[in-house]
Structure 1
């Protein structure tokens, strides 16, 4: 649980830091504390560092081998923040980031990823993608104006909604 909390908090804080200029130009996110100056960039980056420390320590305490997997996990968690600048499929990447949780749980408990785990991981990628498509629908106009990529911008709103439904159906299988 501590590893999850550390990684999630680090990812969210880093995303707010990485997107601070974009958030300032988006009506939905313009009131975030970092954008408004209620938090400094330094404070947010310290929050990221502290939470990453929690993540790494928790991973090491669970199973030392998890430290080897923690580095690529952190690269995905933090790297996600920049994907909307280069690909419309950022929601799938975030779904993959979210699927790291059950993978980490399996590895922490017995050090393996049994075949059945991959069904749960795939379902979480599909669910996370569906959830994030809905989330990205709120920002279509701002994303277009800012030159950001998303599934609704690339495919259009209606096809994005259909894709979201298909992802939910896959998640429920």
Structure 2
């Protein structure tokens, strides 16, 4: 039983001889360490919960009340470069807007009373000043026709509730 205290005393002597002390080491102030980089934006998980985000609308089927969307990151050029830590010389920094696609397509149900909204070719009375999204009613057949004509996907501001599309508003892109 006397061995444990003797062994502990020997360890303290060895640590002391090695330059270690029982006192905690002093850590330099955090200001000398570089600040961690801000996280890059993530894609909205539109298939669950309540969300509002810009997505590419690839298909709209009013009869089946379903959409196929691709989540994107949609930012003004300078904000895009800051968010993705790109140098100011990157050409996307000078654009009015830039996107990063998720390359993931999601099929969602559409609420029977979903709002479908158009910008009507950039008409000022059909634009929300804050979001740049459409505010004028859009017939389901017109939206379906517009989406099928746009091979790259139509940028829309999508609102979901419990993973169901409740609002689809075309986004104005200058």
TM range (shorter): under 0.3
Return the TM-score normalized by structure 1: 0.27
Which structure features the higher share of helix residues?
Answer: 1
Which structure features the higher share of strand residues?
Answer: 2
Return the TM-score normalized by structure 2: 0.27
